[in-house]
Amino acid sequence: MFDRLHRHGRLIGIGLAAALLNACGGGGASSPETEPFYLEEQEEWTLVWADEFNGSGVDAANWTFQTGDGTDYGLPEPGWGNGERQFYLEDNAAVADGSLVITAKEEPMGGMPYTSSRMRSIGKFDFTYGRVEMRAKAAAGQGLWSAIWMMPTSSPYGTWAASGEIDIMEVVNAGTENQGVFLAAHHGFQWPLNQIVTAPAEVDDASDWHTYALEWSGKYLRWYVDGVHLRTVEAESYYSYFFAGNDTGFTAASDPAAPFNQDFHLIVNLAVGGNGPGFVNPADVDGSTMEVDYIRVYECSYGLADGTGCNSNADRGLETPDEAEPYIEETMLFADGAATLSWPTGERQLVAAAGWDNDGAMSVVDDGSVINIMTSGAGNAVINAADGEPFELFGYYGAGELRFDMYIEAAGTAPLSDILIKMDSGYPALGQVSLSVADLPKDEWFSYSIPLRDLVENPGEQPLNLQQVVNLIVIEPTAAASLKVDNVSLKCGHPYRRECGISGPRQAGDGSTLVVLDEIGLEGGFWSSLGIGGSSTDSGFVSYYESGTNQVTWSNTGDSLLVNFASSDEFGVWFVQADQPGVDLSLYEDAGFLRFELKLPQETIDGGLNYKVENEYPDGTGDLSLDLTGVEADVWTSFEIPVAALLASTNAANYTDPRPGEPLDLSAVRAAIVMWPAGDQGGIFFEIRDVRYENDPGAAGDLCPQPTPYGTAAITGSFGGAVIEEGGIYSFPTGSEPWGGFANENTDMYPMSFPHGGTITFNAAVPLGGSADVRFRFEFNPYPDVDPAYDTAAINVSGTELTSYTIEIPSQGENTFSSFLMYLNTMDVGVQVSNVSVVANAPECEEPSNDTVLDPASFTEAFGGTTVVDEVFTFPTGAEAWGGFANMNADLYPLSFPYGATISFMGSVPEGGAADVRFRFEFNPYPDVDPAYDTEAVNVSGTEAMEYTIEVPSQGENTFSSFLMYLNTQDVGVNITDVVVTVKGEPVVEGTELDPAEFTEAFGGTTQADGVFTFPSGAEAWGGFANMNTDLYPLSFPNGAKISFTGAVASGGAAELRFRFEFNPYPDVDPAYDTDAVTVAGADPMTYEIEVPEQGDNTFSSFLMYLNTQDVAVSVSNVVITVY
């Protein structure tokens, strides 16, 4: 069968096997509404136009030929937008024996290896609504593409496919095992966001005669083959979203029949090769013919304006695609003041200010209502982020726009001047359009919209990068101007939900366990915003996030997520996906794993499973095969995949549409996991749960302890009249005791403690609707020995579907708990609760340090009239002023604090009140005390022991062999224990960043100008570039180093670059070290890094750069060495 995943679009192919299109929507089913049947079948349709092809040639009154390779009709490249390989000629079309015959020939013409014909009725027969019927034979052979289709005559909604396209008969590879027959309508946005609703037709051999028909009205499109109604697409399933002019901007067409509410014309053509049929078998092409017996157009006899009413041929039981509508997001940048942009991951404040004041000529004032712009000559106003960082605008190129309201005061504005509207990624990388003041309204408010496509396609010295936008709008008069600006916004449209917008701060995993699906298969954490979804051929690879009637469906069993694949004739993938801009998993790179559990039937094991992890398709791991060796059917099996293995995969490069993919980028993971059956998908299913990314214990270092999971509670005990019903339904009936609730009977969880806080997570639903408040309680022991105890806040549970909930537990100090209870605050509501898990938080991960924690001091000697009894210290009235307490743990001496120290201790005042405590370090015990240091005093209060700390600054080279403690407050007994000195070590240095190198000297025939370096053909093999910043020398790397730089290839190509360190400039070069080469690729500047291993005692006073690739100009800047 023809691979339906390669279903074509007129200008671009769509889809690849297992391609995760980051989108929403779907192709569910509904029964179409049909009008009543009135007329007899033979009276329903009235013939209005026909070509029976009975003449001696193609009728010029009906048809005009399109010739060539497509470039004469506005297409940027040969191939008619599909990579086709024929050159169209009039001579390849003829009329013979009552049929139109189009012949494909193997003959070079116009740079193409084949010829054929294409003709259309534009300007000779254009029509709206009716029935189009033709009897035709498709050209037989691999690589032949026969089509009879329709295009709009005037394209009122813009370029393809916003103004529509209808394919009535479209056949590829007729008569071969790869035959495909398609019925399709294109709509939505202009390329590249064009949409398609399509379906294959089962036709025995399309190279034989068949009758194809379309019934077209303002409410539906119906396709027929050989009189059988095969497909209905209703108006709710298509739309047109287009740019309606600068005053309106992008909008959805108001007529629900759009874009199929206008005149279309007919096209007949035979193509060779291209996106549709795929590879060409030359032996099949030469002489293969497409034949058409007739084409007839009828109108519905009812004469209704929308063409409806004729239904006798309709099959009212056919399923129709789901409704479709564009996703639209508008972000206000300024409205009564600069906006604060908010996301679930954080917020960023915008400011409106002068970007370039042209030496004081420009004044920009945000008065909290509008932006007031005045200039005596040029300058510009900008809106950007207060933090100065750039924004990522994703999905904006196709149908994004910059909108604003403006008021031009005529008296203060040069009448023949322009106003430049720009957006930039940091000057001079920008896009701009020029508005003529003469053409704009004056002394009144007006609205204006600029497509971002126009900004991108009108660059400055460097192109605008929508992924790195610094100034969201730049308003730059070219002469004197007095302007007011308000209601500035960025608006975008997209076929798929949440696939355009402004990216918020990126979410990042902190190295602890990051849940994708929890223990019963509910999405969690960063992946809950979009969550579980599917994408499949029956939805046109539009992703869907609600389980319905598509190829991929899923449901929660209460124990796991069950994923089903419906048909052998379709293909789909299942995934869990995060919102833009994805999740940063960088902390899992070195010792991280993707782990999950699967339960598989034997049929799924036999067929195999594929998986992948993805950024934005096609970038990611590419398709990977899951190793099912030794997996037992119907038994839960744990899988773990090293993150390093995911990073090593280059399989994404095997994709071809729209381009080969790049390897996985851990800093922006969208799809945490994608999975699908490797073979026939019909009836295949699997169960999955506990999907997570995590480091092995200690992967973040011994200083980063992990959270403590106490496990899953078994809340199976009820008391005080509370009731537990079958299925885990908990209720608190009227008449129950106020203290009635539910007890955990999983005693393996005890004792629990939360010195750093913790969390309770659980899944809950209210099956019969409504809502209820749920809370939990921790007790020291079961009643009556309950104290200390802690009651959580209540959380409201609602909805009939199981949802994950989390309750935070604050620090509980040293308290322990051996009783865990659940309560419902709401009576008479049945609440389903499952998977109640308790986790104690880990302490914060400590930064690496060289600090030394000493053994506790022992202040057991009191002097000068002080007293100490059972670690309670007192400075009584009448004691000597110098009275205090001496440390008797002589093992601590001598002490030295070249980088400072910290004293920590536990302190309390058992009888209440407060006292000041301080410490003293002396060179030796009295009288040889100097040098000495006295700490600040700290106030100890309260009857409960608390930790106190005192900082000791650097004491240089001084050493101390006497450690004393004093109370400044008399007659107050202070309990002091655990006095510990932590000696600070030399600060951990991540690396010393040197000043940038300056590669301004080219040698050996190389060239450099303005930071662009070239190694031309004919240059010496040793040609390169020398650093002239001699302040860097001498360099030494006893612990290694890192070289980082910014590189780009303006041509879009690639080049290898390396560096060399030499003892001195040539000829005294040894010892020397050559780095590995790194490939610099792409026109967009990127940061590259090269590691330099340890170089022992070697020093270097020559730093060189070389290009291994000739004749490629490479932009290199900001070359910085970081010495470890």
pLDDT for 989 equals 53
Does residue 38 carry a pLDDT above 70?
Answer: no
Judged against a pLDDT cut of 60, whether residue 923 lies above it is answered with yes
CA distance linking residue 905 with residue 1012, whole number of Å: 61
* pLDDT of 726: 85
Residue 666: its pLDDT value, please? 92
Which residues does 785 contact at the CB level (< 8 Å), separation at least 6? none
pLDDT of residue 510: 73
Assess whether 170 carries a catalytic annotation: yes
Quick one: CA dihedral 246, 250, 254, 255, positive or negative? Answer: positive
What is the pLDDT confidence band of residue 512, given thresholds at 50, 70 and 90? confident
Question: Is residue 13 predicted with pLDDT exceeding 70?
Answer: no
Nearest to 554 by CA among 688, 704, 400, 707: 688
What secondary structure letter does DSSP report for 92?
A: G
Q: Terminus-to-terminus CA distance in the chain, angstroms?
A: 60
Compute CA distances 1104 → 243, 987, 1076, whole Å: 53, 32, 13
Report whether pLDDT(2) > 50: no
Distances (CA, A) of 1034 to 429, 953, 1024, 1025, 1030: 37, 34, 20, 18, 8
In the numeric block, which tokens belong to residue 575? 């995934």
pLDDT attached to residue 1044: 94
User: At 683, which amino acid appears?
Assistant: G
The mean pLDDT value of the chain amounts to 90
User: What average pLDDT does range 128-156 have in this prediction?
Assistant: 96
Strand pairing category for 86-88 and 114-116: parallel
Residue 377 has pLDDT above 80, yes or no: yes
Which of the four pLDDT bands, split at 50, 70 and 90, describes residue 876? very high
Residue 976, helix vs strand vs coil: strand
Task: Work out the pLDDT band at 17, boundaries 50, 70, 90.
Answer: very low
Partners of 995 in the beta sheet? none
Mean pLDDT across 1080-1084: 82
pLDDT reading at 367 higher than 90: yes
Distance CA 20, CA 14 (A): 12
Quote the CA–CA distance of 105 and 19 in Å, as a whole number. Answer: 35
Long-range contacts of 1017-1026 (CB under 8 A, 24+ apart): 1017/1110, 1017/1111, 1019/1110, 1023/1106, 1024/1060, 1024/1104, 1024/1105, 1024/1106, 1024/1107, 1025/999, 1025/1001, 1025/1104, 1025/1105, 1025/1106, 1026/999, 1026/1001, 1026/1065, 1026/1102, 1026/1103, 1026/1104, 1026/1105
Determine contact, residues 184/172, Cβ cutoff 8 Å. Answer: no
* pLDDT tens digit sequence for 967-1013: 999 999 999 999 999 998 876 656 788 999 999 999 999 999 889 99
pLDDT, mean of residues 650-670: 87
Residues 6+ apart with CB under 8 A from 990: 1124
* The token pair that represents 928 in the structure block: 């040889």
Using CA atoms of 227, 233, 234, 240 in order, give the dihedral in degrees to the nearest 10: -130
The pLDDT tens digits of the residues spanning 932-977 come to: 999 999 999 999 999 999 999 999 999 999 999 999 999 999 999 9
Give residue 23's pLDDT.
27
Confidence check: pLDDT of 411 > 80: yes
**pLDDT tens for each residue of 741-767:** 999 999 989 999 999 999 998 989 999
Tokens of 325: 């509508």
The whole-angstrom separation of Cα 373 and Cα 364 is 5
Over the stretch 278-316, which tens digit does the pLDDT of each residue have? 889 999 999 999 999 999 999 999 888 999 989 888 998
Give me the domains of the chain, ranges plus CATH numbers. 4-15+39-300 (2.60.120.200), 329-501 (2.60.120.430), 506-695 (2.60.120.430), 708-840 (2.60.120.430), 852-983 (2.60.120.430), 992-1123 (2.60.120.430)
Q: Report CA Rg, the chain.
A: 38
pLDDT for res 345? 67
Q: Hey, what are 223's tokens?
A: 């396709």
Q: Is 518 helix (H, G, I), strand (E, B) or coil?
A: coil
Q: With 70 as the cut, is the pLDDT of residue 473 above it?
A: yes
Q: Would you tell me how many other CB atoms lie within 10 Å of the CB of residue 116?
A: 30
Say if residue 275 is exposed, middle or buried (CB neighbours under 10 Å; 0-12, 13-18, 19+): buried
> What's the mean pLDDT in 219-242?
95
> Is the pLDDT higher at 62 or at 279?
62
Q: pLDDT tens across 809-853, in order?
A: 999 999 999 999 999 999 999 999 988 989 898 887 655 567 889
Strands 583-584 and 507-508: parallel
How large is the average pLDDT for residues 702-724?
82
> In degrees rounded to 5, what are phi and psi of residue 473?
-150, 140
In Å, how far are 52, 171, 321, 829, 1106 from 296, measured between CA atoms?
Answer: 8, 19, 28, 65, 69
The answer to whether 149 touches 165, Cβ cutoff 8 Å, is yes
Answer for the pair 100, 57: CB distance below 8 angstroms, yes or no. no
Q: 699 pLDDT exceeds 50? A: no
The confidence score (pLDDT) of residue 1099 equals: 93
Query: DSSP string of 577-624?
Result: EPPTT-EE-GGGTTTEEEEEEEE--HHHHHH-EEEEEESSTT-BS--E
Q: Is residue 528 predicted with pLDDT exceeding 90?
A: no
366: which strand partners?
371
Catalytic residue among 44, 84, 165, 694: 165
Q: How confident is the model at residue 513 (pLDDT cuts 50, 70, 90)?
A: confident
Give the separation between CA 308 and CA 306, rounded to whole angstroms: 6
Q: Is the bond into 305 cis (omega within 30 degrees of 0)?
A: no
164 in Cβ contact with 321 (< 8 Å): no
Question: Does the structure show a pLDDT above 70 at 1?
Answer: no
Q: State the catalytic residue, choosing from 84, 170, 291, 523.
A: 170
| Stretch among 414-423, 579-588, 903-912 having the lowest mean pLDDT | 579-588
- pLDDT confidence of residue 703: 40
